């Protein structure tokens, strides 16, 4: 397992957090802790199942920016 932290902009509330978390878990990450107050997402994943670029794309597809 690998853990990565992204700065995510455009989140405003718990609904934003849940939207991103659900999308990431559906895409195959092991866990996602998303915090709209600090604009961060901590994601645990298996590189054999999902790549970092795919994780970024999932978040951006939901309408948020990843830095």
pLDDT at 20: 98
pLDDT at 11: 97
pTM of this structure = 0.93
Q: Give the integer Cα–Cα distance in Å for 33 and 6.
A: 11
Give tens-digit pLDDT for 6-45: 999 999 999 999 999 999 999 999 999 999 999 999 999 9
pLDDT at 19: 97
DSSP 8-state class, residue 46: -
Within 8 A by CB and 6+ apart from 60, the residues are: 66
CATH architecture for segment(s) 2-66: 2-Layer Sandwich (3.30)
Helix spans in the chain (H): 14-27, 52-61
52 pLDDT band, cuts 50/70/90, is very high
Delimit the domains of the chain by residue range: 2-66
């Amino acid at each position: 397992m690998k853990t990565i932290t992204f700065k995510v902009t455009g989140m405003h509330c718990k609904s934003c957090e849940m939207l991103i978390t659900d999308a990431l878990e559906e895409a195959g990450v092991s866990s996602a802790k998303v915090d709209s107050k600090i604009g961060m997402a901590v994601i645990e994943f298996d590189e054999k199942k999902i790549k970092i670029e795919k994780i970024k794309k999932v978040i951006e597809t939901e309408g948020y920016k990843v830095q």
